[in-house]
Structure 1
Amino acid sequence: SELSRKAANEIGLLYYQNDRYEEAIAAYKQVITKYPGSAEARLAQRDLKSIYVDLNKVDDYMAFASTVPGGATFNVSERDSLTYTAAERAYMRGDIAGAKTSLTRYLQSFPQGAFSVDASYYLGLIDYNQKDYAAVAARLEEVLRFSGSKYEGKALALCADMAYNQKEYAKALNLYKRLADRSAVQEERLQAEVGALRSACALGDRAETVTTASVLLKQSKLTPEVRSEALYFRAKALLAEGQKKAALADLTELAKDTRNVYGAEAKYLVAQTYFDEGETAKAEKEVLEYIEVSTPHAYWLARSFVLLSDVYVKLDRKMEAKQYLLSLQQNYQADDDIAGMIESRLEKLKSVK
């Protein structure tokens, strides 16, 4: 009867909803074979396919489907879709080992399949999480061969991060710039530009550092931390290139906040630049102001005290220079190069009484 067919189908559905897959399979197969051509049989075959896909047993489903009355056949496109869907579902439910096996088998069976880019991307993610970075690179390079895919941005970001972490800075720079150029998402583009800046700095490419930092600083929604980083790297590159006036503009802005490490160093560098340019009075003013506002970054304040001693030596106020050095020697205990700076200067001032 009609109620009998519906009841038989409901039994399969109840098993399916309670994750009792083997019992659901048996119940649905009974509906399909006992009531061929019925609406219930069609519903049972639909759910049976979903179960086999969930279980990553597509071959078993296709084998059974070919035996039912009417004998279903599957073309390449259908087999491609079913095989990939089963592998993807295994990944999504956390069956990583099963997903890796199935995705690999999918690519072997359908190397030019409709989901080959998707499969390569997910395999790349699995390899990345398993720290098999050589395999990741190979997988994601396959993804990047197809420009415009939905995974291109994520693949570029992963490849760029890997290259940067492995100190392949030239490769990282190229990938970050490529990501920044293609990205339509502001946050993704911003992260790419920050990565490009850090890569350029690590390479020691001053011109690229200045260019990349300048592009980044044009962004309207930079966090204070990212803005400080960009100003700092640009200023350091400009200083190294001898463009002291341009560097001073960035350093002066950074030096307004000596609580962060960039501002702490910048305040010292402003004073040092004035001193190097022969503007001794400005250098003294900067250091005295620095001493007044202070900083939690003691190294740069200590460097400023050393610089102040140089200022006073140049002004022929050698006793004051010596007193600052002796005070610093007594109060600064860190194990770094400050002690050597103090000793070398005190040696030159040892005759000062």
Structure 2
Amino acid sequence: YRRGDYDAAIKLLQQSIGTHSAMEQSAYLFLGQAYLKRGDNNSALMAFENAYRVDYDREVRETAFYNYAVARMDGGRVPFGNSVALLENFLQEYPNSTYSADVQRYIVNGYMSDNDYESALAALDKIPNPSAELIQAKQRVLLVLGSREYTSGKISQAISHLTQARRLASDNPSIRRQCDLWLGDCYYTRGNYDEAASSYRSFIASAPKSDTRNRAIAYYDLGYTRFCQERYSDALTDFRDAVTVMQSAPADISRSLLADCYNRIADCHYYQTDFTSAAEAYNKAYDLNPSSGDYALYQLAIMKGLRKDHAGKIESIDALSERFPSSGLIPNALLEKAESQSALGQTDQAIATYRHLVQQYPNTAPGRNGYLQLAITYINRGERSQGIETYKKVIYTFPSSEEARIAADDLKQLYAADGRLQDFVAFINSVPNAPRYEASELEKLAFQAAENDYVNSGATSKLSAYIAEYPQGADRAQALYYLADAAWNEGKPAEAQGYAMQVIQTHPDSEVAEDAMLIKAAAESSLGKTEIAYSTYQQLESRASGSNMLREARIGLMRTAADLGKYAEVVNTADKLLASTAANSPADLNEIRFMRGMANNSLGNYDKAYEDWSELAENPADIFGAKSAYYMGNSQLDRGLVKGAKSTAEKLIDSDTPHQYWLARGFILYSDILRKEGKKFEADEYLKSLKSNYPGTEADIFQMIDSRL
């Protein structure tokens, strides 16, 4: 060591570890210093920590601690090393140390290095006259706390901390701007749109022109804020400003974000009844992101119809059906197509479209509506008997649906016109669960009281009483659904499943049947009935009436397929979800891509898996980003790609991820990589340090550590 041969010194010093003596303590101190000389701060940290934790020689202990603090503040990492606790212990044990002044300065930085911003804030609040440096540290602590609280849904706390940070940062434009952007998101999430708009405008007013990405996002978010306020003219201006900024630096902006801007620009024109401008914007949105352009193509068709261009509308819907056959917009698009065919006098083609709709999507609300429109079309062209038979089919096929009630009303008028009301009554009475016409006043009042009680306070006793007193009640399906929803929200999956099953069995075509099926599937999955849940999600996918419900069905299908090892089905379902812009949230997209990565990895499609995982791993603050980083590194190690695995693991454990379980898994993976490289001593030291410092209680973490040691 003294002549600078640190590699040789390290090999010898490692062999002198294990005696539990003053010699071992001294060896750890020299070992840490040798690692520092070699530039290996992480191994140095663990060596200094071991030298400090024993008390054979207080002078060695004091020196080891100071070296530990310096290395830690310089960015060295140790698994969940609570450097601040060591700092505070040091001040208690060595109050007169020559290092005390430096240690006091390190405490706040230590909390930040340990990712413990709550404690950092508490420590800063205790300092009576903080320096300018500490005030700047407090600004950053408050900003990070606020942003994390927003991400985890703690909006009130986020607003409080971000507001404090903004106030402190009056002379720090960068922090102040970041606070404005986060505060805008907080207020938007809470529906406080005026406050959100004020924060976004404040950011825009102070942001430098070079900050293209954040300025574009601020305009984009401001546009959504105004859109939610139905201030479409203002929203249109904001979205146009967002597009202008995005186009000035296209490399910083994804095409999907730009396409979404054009979709919203088009929506604003639509709500202002400027259908020509709306169509132009929808066209641009589609051209920018054709692989996920089902919404733009559908809306473009609607605009053509509103401008009486029915032939163009039909052409766009045919293109939608061809390019996006799995889109949740297809059933409604077929209804629109048939409407335009009727408007053009193409009655035969309209009937063919309605028949196609009811054959392909019979259990959906648009499918049932297709039956109604088919009946009306028959009646309008004089085929009365065909129309009557189609109305009857709606009633006896979907007796518990809203469409059956409408069909029955129309059918009653037809029979009355023919003087055959008794025949109508006989038909209705012959169909189980057919629409009832005169619910008693008492029954209506009982259900209204029960519904109000549930909506206002969550109480379900009146709903149960209504079900018991009126077993054939007109609102029985809705009451059962409320009971299923209440049970699910109260953490009673078996009870929720039971109520949802009753809705599906006795009122399979009611307005709440799809929602009940979703609760049933979720409850089955929660109860470990994965195969049954998978089947239920398949049924829901086949009958989902809109994009939101289709998304829920497919996400559930994807999750249960993964649990069952149906990896090809996971990839297929994920591709369907990602092929549509309708109804997917950013959180959904992250999970979908992560799941697709897992499935492709299991199928041996490693390049495709790593493509998804790499992009997600760029944001380790997101749970799927942290998981993606771990699983990609683990996969690379299993395949013998040690260099790539090490790079992936290092990025994860160097990140500021708040997900401590996956950070711990990252350290274990890193230890496995070191062991693969023949560095057994360093690999074991990582595991020992993790075992001593990990704050979690998950048994599998400690089992993995022990099995390796």
TM-score, normalised to structure 2, is: 0.33
Residues 141 and 80 of structure 1: is their aligned pair in 2 closer, same or farther, counting only changes over 3 Å?
closer
| Contact 1:258–1:295 (Cα < 8 Å) also in 2 | yes
**Which of residues 677, 688, 703 in structure 2 aligns to 1:315?**
677
2:497–2:520 contact (8 Å) kept in structure 1:
no
Once the two structures are TM-superposed, the CA of residue 97 in structure 1 deviates from its matched residue by 5.6
Residues 23-57 of structure 1: CA distance to partner in whole angstroms, max 9, x if unpaired?
xxxxxxxxxxxxxxxxxxxxxxxxxxxxxxxxxxx
The structure 1 residue matched to 2:701, chosen from 324, 338, 342, is 338
- CA 1:190/1:331 → structure 2, altered by over 3 Å: closer, same or farther? same
Q: Residue 212 of structure 1 corresponds to which residue in structure 2? A: 573
1:87 to 418, 443, 452: 443
- Give me the whole-angstrom Cα distance separating, in 2, the residues matched to 1:163 and 1:338: 29
Distance 1:265 1:165, change over 3 A: closer
**TM-superposed deviation, 1:267:** 1.0
Which residue is 1:160 aligned to? 521
Query: How many aligned residue pairs are there?
Result: 258
Question: In 2, distance between residues paired with 1:239 and 1:287?
Answer: 17
Report the CA distance shift for 1:132/1:190 in structure 2 as closer, same or farther (over 3 A).
closer
1:177 to 538, 550, 553: 538
Task: Give me the whole-angstrom Cα distance separating, in 2, the residues matched to 1:323 and 1:133.
Answer: 50
Measured at CA, do residues 259 and 85 of structure 1 come closer, stay the same or move farther in structure 2, by a change above 3 Å?
same
**Matched-pair contact (CA < 8 Å) for 2:597–2:609:** yes
Report what 1:61 is aligned to: none
| 1:229 positional shift | 1.5
**2:541 corresponds to which letter in structure 1?**
A
Q: How many Å separate the matches in 2 of 1:312 and 1:159? A: 47
Q: Is 1:103 aligned to 2:481, yes or no?
A: no
1:202 aligns with 2:202: no
The code of the aligned residue for 1:153 comes to E
Alpha-carbon distance in structure 2 between the residues aligned to 1:169 and 1:227: 23
Instruction: For residue 470 of structure 2, give the secondary structure of its aligned residue in structure 1.
Output: helix
Aligned to 1:296: 658
Q: Report the AA paired with residue 269 of structure 1.
A: Y
Q: 2:667 aligns with which of 305, 308, 316?
A: 305
Q: Closer, same or farther in 2 for the Cα pair 1:287/1:91, shift >3 Å?
A: same
Aligned to 2:690: 328
- In structure 2, what residue type is equivalent to 1:337? D
Q: 2:405 is matched with which residue?
A: none
Residue by residue, what CA displacement relative to the aligned partner does 1:65-88 show, whole Å, maximum 9, x if unpaired? xxxxxxxxxx88899522366534
Query: Cα RMSD over matched residues?
Result: 3.3
Q: Distance in 2 between matches of 1:298 and 1:162?
A: 29
| Conservation of the 8 A alpha-carbon contact between 2:668 and 2:705 | yes
Deviation at 1:133, TM superposition (A): 4.8
Contact map agreement 2:621 2:658 (CA 8 A) in 1 = yes
Map Cα deviations across residues 293-312 of structure 1 (whole Å, 9 max, x no partner): 23222232233223223323
Is the contact made by 1:290 and 1:301 (CA closer than 8 Å) also made in structure 2?
Answer: yes
- The 5-angstrom pairing of residues 174-323 of structure 1 reads 174-220=535-581, 221-323=583-685
Amino acid at match of 1:122: Q
Q: Distance in 2 between matches of 1:294 and 1:270?
A: 18
Contact 1:123 1:139 in 2 (8 A): no
Q: How far apart are the structure 1 equivalents of 2:657 and 2:587?
A: 17
3-state SS, counterpart of residue 191 of structure 1: helix
Counterpart in 2 of 1:121?
477
Given candidates 493, 499, 506, the residue that maps to 1:142 is 506
Whether the aligned pair in 2 keeps the contact of 1:254 and 1:262 (CA below 8 Å) is: yes
Aligned residues of 2:664 and 2:701 also touching (Cα < 8 A): yes
Q: C-alpha deviations, 1:234-283, integer Å up to 9, x for none?
A: 22233333333322222212211111222212212222222222221112
Tell me, yes or no, if the aligned pair for 1:121 and 1:155 is still in contact at 8 Å. Answer: no
Distance, in Å, in 2 between the alignment partners of 1:157 and 1:201 is 18
SS of 2:507 mapped into structure 1: helix
* Counterpart code for 1:272: N
Kept in 2: contact 1:103–1:119 (CA 8 A): no
Three-state SS of the structure 1 residue aligned to 2:674 is: helix
SS at match of 2:657: coil
Larger Rg: 1
Deviates more, 1:181-190 or 1:326-335: 326-335
Q: Structure 1 102/82 Cα, relative in aligned 2: closer, same or farther at 3 Å?
A: farther
Instruction: Work out whether residues 497 and 524 of structure 2, in 8 Å CA contact, stay in contact via their aligned partners in 1.
Output: no
1:181, distance to aligned residue in structure 2 (A): 3.3
SS at match of 2:686: helix
Q: 1:99 to 1:236 in 2, by over 3 A?
A: same
SS at 2:667 equivalent: helix
User: CA 1:101 to 1:289, structure 2 compared with 1: closer, same or farther past 3 Å?
Assistant: closer
Deviation at 1:123, TM superposition (A): 5.1
Taking the aligned partners of 1:132 and 1:227, their CA distance within structure 2 comes to: 28
Q: What letter is aligned with 2:584?
A: L
Equivalents in 2 of 1:292, 1:97: separation in Å? 55
Decide which moves more: 130-139 or 296-305.
Answer: 130-139
SS class of match (1:83): coil
Paired residues of 2:447 and 2:475 also in contact (CA < 8 A) = no
Report if the CA contact (8 A) 1:270-1:286 is conserved: yes
Query: What does the per-residue CA deviation read over 1:153-172, in whole Å, with 9 as the maximum and x for residues that have no partner?
Result: 33433443443344333333
- In the TM superposition, residue 340 of structure 1 has moved relative to its aligned partner by 4.0
Structure 2 SS opposite 1:228:
helix
